Amino acid sequence: MIYLITGANRGLGEGLAAAYLSRPNNTVIAAVRNPEHLTSKALHDLPRAQSSNLIVVKIDSKSETDAKMAVRDLISTHNISAVDIVIANAGIAKVLPTVAQAQVSDMLEHFMVNAVAPALLFQAFLPLLRKSQREPKFVTLSTTAASIADMEQVPIPNAAYGPSKAALNYLTKKIHVENPDIIAFPISPGWVQTDMGNDGARKVGLESADITIEQSITGLLDVIENATREASSGKFLSYDGDSCGW
């Protein structure tokens, strides 16, 4: 299997990369903002099962061209002719303003990284996904903070991160509708004890997020591996297999 994971040098992205590398006969393409960063170089130290290997590529979510350039590099330098699963994991959650307080610059930055960048990623990797010998999957890491239906149950000021992830959900569902040959769905990893998750928890007066990275990764792996066009594609899923409200 050949996997592409964005934001692969920390948090959930690193956890997913490590998990797939620990299984035999996998190629993990780790997309990172800066391949020279220490966290990116540390990916090469992750244990690998037999015949599994790692490729690190540069994809900055604020770049309009990095994803396409990464595809060209994968084809020309690494002889990658197909990708089976793309996991759009990279994201930001820098501020938690009310709508009245939200700054234009913050909103635009969150929409670029959390919604536009995954769309650009899909555009760039669609030809490689369509060459997969399996059922290709495009999975986006979302959040219940994006839920419009359940908004009143999550009374956290979130006027940059929340709507940007809601836009991501729309785009992912649209990918499902427009591409009957692709399994596409957004998935909530839960409120995970990553740097970003814990930072968000502290901003609302909590000590840490709810679940460990290991708990989330275990669930994500299972849902992604067992996803089908009929049962999963076009749904908003949770790491525990449940459905989330749009």
Q: How far apart are CA 59 and CA 203, in angstroms?
A: 29
**137 is an active site residue:** no
Q: How far apart are CA 54 and CA 52, in angstroms?
A: 7
Q: Distances in Å between the alpha carbon of 164 and those of 113, 159, 161, 193? A: 9, 8, 5, 21
Selection from 12, 152, 13 nearest residue 4 by Cα: 13
Active-site hit among 165, 173, 235, 239: 165
Task: Return the exposure string of 84-116: e unless at least 16 CB atoms fall within 10 Å of the residue's CB, then b.
Answer: bbbbbbbbbbebbeeeeebeeebbebbbbbbbb
**165 is an active site residue:** yes
SS (H, E, C) 47-68: CCCCCCEEEEEECCCCCCCHHH
Residue with tokens 């998990």: 19
Active-site hit among 161, 173, 235, 239: 161
DSSP code per residue over 174-196: HHHHH-TTSEEEEEE--SB-SHH
**Active-site annotation, residues:** 161, 165
